Chain A
Amino acid sequence: MRKSVSKKIMALLLAAMLLITLGACGSSEEPTEGDTQPQETLSLGEQNIGAEGDAAASEQIEYVSYALNSASFDLKPFSSPASGRAQTFQYVWPRLVYLTSYGGSLEEAEMWLAKSVTRVDDVTCDVELYDYIYDNKGNHITAEDVKWSYEMVATVGQSVEVGNLLKEIQILDDYNLRFILNSPGTGKMETVLGFHRMAICDKDWYENATEEELLSDIATAAPYYIKEFVSGSLVVFEAVEDYWQKDESLRGISGSQNVKTIYCPVIAEPSVRAISVENKEVDFTDIQISDLGTFYENGAVKDGYNMLAVGGTTALDLFLNMDEESGSPVATNLKLRQAILYAIDAESCRIAAGLDDSCSWLCYDFGTVQMAGFNEAWKEDYWTYDPDKAKALLEEAGYPDGITLRFMYTSNMSSGMVAVLTENLEAVGIHVEVMGYDQALYNTYKYDSSVWDIIIDNKGGYSLIDNYNNLFSPGGYTNGGVNFCKDQTLYDLVDKGMLTGAQEDYDAIHDRTVELAMGRGLYASATIYVSQDGILDMITNHYMYPMVNAWTYAEDFVSNYKIN
Chain B
Amino acid sequence: MIKYIAKRLLQMIPVLICVAILIFTLMFFVPGDPVQIMLGDYTSTPEQIAETRARLGIDKPYWEQLVIYLNGIVHLDFGESFILGNDVGEELLERFPRSLTLALSSLGFIVILGVPLGVLCALNAGKLLDKILMVLTLILNSMPTFWLGLLMILLFSVRLNWLPSNGIGGVEYYVMPIIAASVGSLANITRQTRSSMLEVIRSDYVTTARSKGLSERKITYGHALPNALIPIITICGSYFGFMIGGTTVIETVFSIPGIGSYLVNSINSRDYPVVRGSILFIAFSFSVIMLVVDLLYAFADPRIKASYAGNKRKKKETAETGADEQPAAGKEGT
Query: Would you give the shortest CB distance from B110 to chain A, in whole angstroms?
Result: 20
Within 8 Å by CB of A440, from B42, B48, B268, lies B268
Residues of B within 8 A of A79 (CB): 84-85
Known: A10-B131, A28-B159, A265-B166. A440 touches B257 (CB 8 A): no
Count of inter-chain pairs, beta carbons less than 8 A = 167
Interchain CB contact under 8 A, A478 and B94: no
Contact of B269 among A74, A440, A475 (CB under 8 A): A440
Nearest Cβ distance between residue A363 and chain B, in whole angstroms?
18
Other-chain residue from A215, A234, A440, A444 in contact with B86 (beta carbon distance below 8 A) = A215
Nearest chain A CB to B186's CB is how many angstroms away?
15
Size class of the contact patch on chain B: 35 or more
A344 to chain B: closest CB distance in Å? Answer: 23
B44 proximity list for chain A (CB < 8 A): 160, 476
Distance to closest chain A CB from B169 (angstroms): 4
CB distance from A333 to the nearest CB of B (A): 26
Neighbouring A residues of B40 by C-beta, 8 Å: 81, 161
Instruction: Tell me, in angstroms, the Cα distance from A279 to B165 when the chains sit together.
Output: 8
Interfacial chain B residues near A459, Cβ < 8 Å: 41
A310 interface residue per 8 A CB criterion: no
- Digitize A274-288: 1 where CB-to-B-CB distance is under 8 Å, 0 elsewhere: 011011010000000
Chain A residues with CB below 8 A from B31, complex form: 441, 444-445
Most chain B beta-carbon contacts within 10 A, residue among A164, A233, A444, A459: A233
Q: Is the Cβ of B42 less than 8 Å from the Cβ of A470?
A: yes
A50 to B60 alpha-carbon distance, docked (Å): 58
B-contacting residues, A390-447, CB 8 Å:
438-441, 443-445, 447
Q: A445 vs B131: C-alpha distance in the bound complex, in angstroms?
A: 54
Give the distance in Å from the alpha carbon of A471 to the alpha carbon of B159 in the complex: 48
Determine whether B45 belongs to the interface, using a CB cutoff of 8 Å to chain A.
yes
In contact, B135 and A10 (Cβ under 8 angstroms)? yes
Cβ-closest chain B residue relative to A272: B166
Q: How large is the interface on A (under 10, 10 to 19, 20 to 34, 35 or more residues)?
A: 35 or more
Please state if B33 and A443 are interface contacts (CB–CB under 8 Å).
yes
Q: Mark A135-164, 1 if CB is under 8 A from B, else 0.
A: 000000000000000000000001111011
- The minimal Cβ–Cβ distance linking A211 to chain B, given in whole angstroms, is 7
A232 lies within 8 A of chain B by Cβ: yes
* Closest chain B CB from A286 CB (angstroms): 15
Closest A residue to B91 by CB, please name it: A231
Question: A10 and B132: CB pair below 8 A?
Answer: yes
Q: Is the CB of B83 within 8 A of A80?
A: yes
Give the segment of B147-155, B204-212, B213-221 that binds chain A. B147-155
Any B CB within 8 A of the CB of A547:
no
**Which residue on chain B has the smallest CB distance to residue A444?**
B33
Among B91, B139, B166, which residue has its beta carbon within 8 angstroms of that of A17? B139
Beta-carbon contact of B42 and A9 below 8 Å: no
- Cα–Cα, bound, A278→B36 (Å): 38
Q: Is the CB of A231 within 8 A of B95?
A: yes
Give B148's nearest chain A residue, CB to CB: A21
Partner of A233, one of B45, B48, B253, B257: B257
Bound Cα distance from A538 to B261, whole angstroms: 32
- Most chain B beta-carbon contacts within 10 A, residue among A10, A164, A276: A276
Report the bound CA distance from A475 to B91 in whole Å.
Answer: 38
Counting from the closest, the 4 A-B pairs by CB-CB distance are: A232-B257, A440-B32, A476-B42, A24-B155
Query: B-contacting residues of A (Cβ < 8 Å)?
Result: 6, 9-10, 13-14, 17, 21, 23-25, 28, 71-74, 76, 79-82, 158-161, 163-164, 211, 215, 230-234, 265-269, 271-272, 275-276, 278-279, 281, 438-441, 443-445, 447, 459, 470-471, 473, 475-478, 482, 562, 564
What are 29 A-B pairs with beta-carbon distances under 8 A?
A6-B128, A9-B132, A28-B159, A73-B84, A74-B84, A74-B86, A158-B38, A160-B39, A160-B43, A160-B48, A211-B86, A230-B168, A230-B257, A231-B91, A232-B262, A234-B167, A265-B166, A268-B261, A269-B255, A279-B165, A281-B157, A281-B165, A438-B32, A440-B268, A443-B32, A444-B36, A445-B31, A562-B169, A564-B168
Interface residues of B (CB under 8 A from A): 31-34, 36-46, 48, 52, 82-87, 91, 94-95, 128, 131-132, 135-136, 139, 150-155, 157-159, 161, 164-170, 252-257, 261-262, 265-266, 268-270
Extra A-B contacts (8), CB below 8 Å, given A73-B84, A564-B167? A24-B159, A163-B48, A272-B150, A275-B153, A278-B158, A438-B268, A443-B33, A562-B164
